[in-house]
Every structure is written in C-alpha cells, then in structure tokens.
Chain A
Amino acid sequence: MATARARKRKTGAASGRSPRTMVLVATRKGAWIFHADAARRAWRADGPHFLGHDVSHLVLDPRDGRTLLAAAKTGHLGPTVFRSTDLGRTWKEAAKPPAFAKAPEGEAGRAVDHTFWLAPGRAEDKDLWYAGTSPQGLFRSLDGGVTWEPYSIINDDPQFREWMGTVQDGTPDGPKLHSIIVDPRDGDHMYIGMSGGGVHETTDGGRTWRTLIKGLDVVEGFGFDPAKPTFHDPHCIRLCATNPDRLYQQNHCGIYRLDRPSDTWTRIGRAMPKTVGDIGFPLVVHPRNDDVAWVFPMDGTQVWPRTSPGGRPAAYGTRNGGRTWQRLDTGLPKSQGWWTVKRQSMAADACDSVALYVGNTQGELWMGRDEGRRWSCIARHLPEIYAVETAQFSLRR
C-alpha cells in the first residue's frame, strides 16, 4: 500500500505544488541538469555529470518522472548508456549497451561508435526504450535501458545498409539514426530519420518499412535522383503530440510538413525570408497546438558555414502550419553571433506559457520565454552543447 508521503510525491501538481521544469543538457564534455524555480526565472545547475564524456543525449522517462538515461562515451572507451532512477543523484551503467550483432567469421562487422538518440516508448509501454546509433542502427530495451538488443530488420538489411552508406556518407562525426518517433495510438507504428538515408515508417513493429521521401528535395546540381533514399538527409523530424497525423521536418534541403495519410511532404520553408533560407538542424513543435512549430535557421549557402545567417541568431516560428513565419530574436545577439545549434539542441517545455530552449556549440543555454518572443541566457561557458531536452516533474528530491 502506498504511504501518504508516496501518494503526495506522485501527485505533486494536484496537491498544490506546481510542476517544476528541468532542462537536460548533453555536451561534448559531460551533462548538466538545470532546475527552474516555479516562475522559471532562477535556475540551479546540477552538474557536471560524467565530466569528460561525450554525452549525445540525456532524456527523462516521462512515464515515471525520475528515470534518466544518458548516451555517453569517452575519447578512449567504447560507448555506453548510463541510467539513474533518482533524477541523477546516482548512476549505473547499462548491463548491455547497444551493440551490433557479431558478424559471421570472415565478414567485417560494424561496431557502435556512439548512441545518438534515445526515445522512450508510449505511456502504456512501461520500460520500453529505443535508441539510434552511429553508425546507423536501431536498438530496443524492454527493461528501462538496462539491456539493449538490435531491433527490427534495419541493422542488417542489405537495402538499408546501402542507403546508410559508409562513414564517409554521413555527418562529420558519423552517420546517425535519429528522430525515433512512436505513434502514441499504436506502438507498432514508428518513424525514423536517417542522416543520410531518408525517412522511413513501419506499421508492423519493425518487420517491414516503407520509405517516406516524396516531396523532399535533394541537393541540386549533381543529378541526384530524389527517388533514392541515399540522397536524402532529414535533420530532425517531430510529431505533433495533439495530432499524431501531423509531422514536421527540418531537412538538409528545407522545412517540410506531412499530414497523414498523405505520403507527400510539403515544403513549408518556401515561406521563410529569402535572406535567411530554410536550412537548419533542429525543429520543435508546440506541445498542444499542431499549427505551431519553431526552427533555428543556419547558413546553408556556399561552403555551408552552418552558423546563424548574417551572424544574427534567431528562431523562426509559424502559427499556421508553415504558411507564414515570424522572426523571434528579442534578447538574442544583434550582430556577431555566429551560433551553430545542433539538431537535438532545441526544445520546448509544456508549461501554460510555453518556453523554448536552445543550446549552441559555444556552450550557451538560452530560454525563449513566451513561445520564443523574449530570450535570455540561462548559462554560459558550458562545453559544446549536443542536446537539450525539457521535462516537468513534481517529485520531492
């Protein structure tokens, strides 16, 4: 039987204690957890955790509000997943981290360099997690992240392996399987993004996959065939929580929206200002309004600096599904701000007045209050930021 104290812990919001916001920051040299006060004005830094580790992703399990998973490696050692069941006070390493199957004798097998993306399963699928890796692989844990196994046909399927390419075909620190999205209505229905390799969907729990690249552009001028997944590089895909039939995507070649059951993406980034363009890494959707999404554009011209266009960092938001976009830069540097914001480094919280959070590779964490209309800096001088996630919790520490 639950004690009164335990009941109170689980129902913090109902008992008058408003949920607090945490921002989970993964960096090239460790991880930090930033705890907000009730007004989200004062922030307390908890960290570094795993100082010196490359931490690609730090995620709170929304189903219990206290389990954290961190995808980590160091320069010397192999990759692993750390797990905490007390909001980061103590950590334990996964007993069996994501690893590819051993290749048959005489064949060259792949080895996971790092786990890049962690995604919890649906609310009703307790302890189910998915992981995407570099080189590209899809893994699953059924025990809350303690042990991991290769999942679905993807890792060893010859067609997928061709689309994934080699280490030379992906991002500078290796091709990545990311944006693992589970349909909240049906756990067998999932989407994944492959950089490179396109967008894919399964409706049978990973036994078969269907490619979803219609409408997506490819880099012009090289004769690339847009029908081939190899030439597609989705940077970040998001599903709308209140409308699981709507997805948004920030791609290497523009910003897109997809409304199912259609299988053709619409390039909504055409409505962005021409001087800014519609290239970037992250994309965030509103937690309750499927017409609202935000991006953080980067310079994708000439040699692809991947920095804020013109040295003036800004989020852009749409409130009508991408028909129009508004620049959101109040409080951000007006000049000489050469930010790079990686694909996992932008997030929104779920408070009544939604705030955005952005981490840049200079190690600064920023908050965009009132849906990105007023920006202020939460932290500076962190290591290069790889990923930013938010979580609400109401547990006593």
Chain B
Amino acid sequence: MRVLIPSALRSYTERAETEASGATLAALLADLERQYAGIRFRIIDEQDRIRRHIRIFVNGEQARDLAQPLAAADEVVIVQALSGG
C-alpha cells in the first residue's frame, strides 16, 4: 500500500512516498523497517507506543493502535506533529 513519509524521515526513504505491505499497522511498520533499517525506532518506542510527536493516519483517520488491520488499498500517512521550537 501507499505510505506517505514526512520530511524528518526521508533520510531513510529518500522519497516522500513509498510502498509497504502488512495486514496490520505493526506488520506494515515491520515491512518499512525491512526496507529502511532504523526507521521504526524513530516512529515507535521500545514499548511499542507511537512516539509523542508522531501521528499515523489510515485513510484520513488517526490510528492509535499497532494492531489496527490494514487492507491493500489503504493509504497510510505518517506525520511529524507539533514538537515545539
């Protein structure tokens, strides 16, 4: 599925948009990690929590749980959010 990447993470992907697959958000992030080593830990902490200033949207709705199911046609948007000056 299509995954939009924020500028802060493009040092890993070298592009604003990439393709990844997975039946859940956790699986999708694992696939991103396989493609771009190190990217997952910058988004998700060691307790599997989405980091404080990262938001993930699936088809425009905010995802809060890594167990959220995904379908092949979904669009996932990773956003860097409001971390101050």
Stretch of B20-28, B41-49, B64-72 at the chain-chain interface: B41-49
Q: How far is the CB of A101 from chain B (nearest CB, A)?
A: 8
Cβ-closest chain B residue relative to A98: B46
Chain A residue nearest to B49 (CB atoms) is A111
A76 and B45 in contact (CB under 8 A), knowing A93-B38, A95-B37, A95-B38?
Answer: no
Chain B hits for A76, CB < 8 A:
6, 8, 51, 53-54, 80-81, 83
Q: Interface segment, A102-110, A278-286, A371-379?
A: A102-110
Measured in the bound complex, the distance between the Cα atoms of B54 and A100 in whole Å is: 20
**B1 contacts chain A at the CB level, 8 A cutoff:** no
Contacts of B37 in A (CB 8 A): 95
- Please state if B46 and A75 are interface contacts (CB–CB under 8 Å): no
Q: How far is the CA of A76 from the CA of B53 in the complex (A)?
A: 5
B63 on the interface (CB 8 Å rule)?
Answer: no
Decide if B47 touches A102 in the complex (CB within 8 Å).
yes
Count, chain A residues at interface, CB 8 A: 20
A108 CA to B46 CA in the complex, in Å? 11
Q: Give 1 or 0 for each of B68-85: 1 = CB within 8 Å of chain A CB.
A: 000000000000110110
Q: Once bound together, how far apart are the Cα atoms of A75 and B6, in whole Å?
A: 13
Q: How far is the CA of A100 from the CA of B84 in the complex (A)?
A: 26
The distance from the CB of B42 to the nearest CB of chain A, in whole angstroms, is 4
B9's partner among A77, A109, A111 (CB-CB below 8 A) is A77
Count chain A CB atoms within 10 A of each CB in B43, B51, B84 and give the residue with the most.
B51
**Within 8 Å CB of A93, what residues of B?**
38
Tell me whether B54 and A77 are in contact (CB under 8 A). Answer: yes
**A-B contacts at CB below 8 angstroms, number:** 56
| A184–B53 CA distance with the chains assembled, in angstroms | 41
Chain B, range 6-44, C-beta contacts under 8 Å to A: 6, 8-9, 37-38, 41-44
Closest chain A residue, CB of each to CB of B80: A76
CB distance from A83 to the nearest CB of B (A): 12
Partner of A102, one of B41, B43, B48, B54: B48
A113: min CB distance to chain B, Å: 9
Least distance between A109 CB and chain B CB atoms (Å): 4
Closest to A73 in B: B42
Of the candidates B6, B42, B48, which one forms a contact with A78 in the assembled complex, judged by CB atoms under 8 Å apart?
B42
B81 → chain A, closest Cβ, in Å?
7
Assuming the contacts A76-B54, A77-B9, A77-B54, asked whether A99 and B80 have C-beta atoms less than 8 A apart, the reply is no
Q: Which of A38-79 contact B (CB under 8 A)?
A: 74-78
By a CB distance below 8 angstroms, the chain B residues around A94 are 38
Answer whether residue A112 sits at the interface, using C-beta atoms and an 8 A cutoff.
yes
**Contact indicator B41/A109 (Cβ below 8 Å):** no
CB distance from A298 to the nearest CB of B (A): 24
A interface list, Cβ under 8 A from B: 74-78, 80, 93-95, 97, 99-103, 108-112
Those 7 A-B pairs whose CB atoms lie nearest each other, nearest first: A75-B83, A111-B45, A76-B80, A99-B46, A77-B42, A109-B47, A76-B53
Q: List chain B positions with a Cβ less than 8 A from chain A.
A: 6, 8-9, 37-38, 41-49, 51, 53-54, 80-81, 83-84
Give 17 new A-B contacts, CB below 8 A, not counting A76-B51, A108-B47: A74-B83, A76-B6, A76-B53, A76-B80, A76-B83, A77-B8, A78-B44, A78-B45, A78-B51, A80-B41, A80-B42, A95-B37, A97-B41, A101-B46, A102-B47, A109-B46, A111-B47
Q: List 23 A-B pairs, Cβ < 8 Å.
A: A74-B83, A76-B51, A76-B81, A77-B9, A77-B42, A77-B43, A77-B51, A77-B54, A77-B80, A78-B42, A78-B44, A78-B51, A80-B42, A94-B38, A99-B46, A100-B46, A101-B46, A102-B46, A102-B47, A102-B48, A108-B47, A109-B46, A111-B46
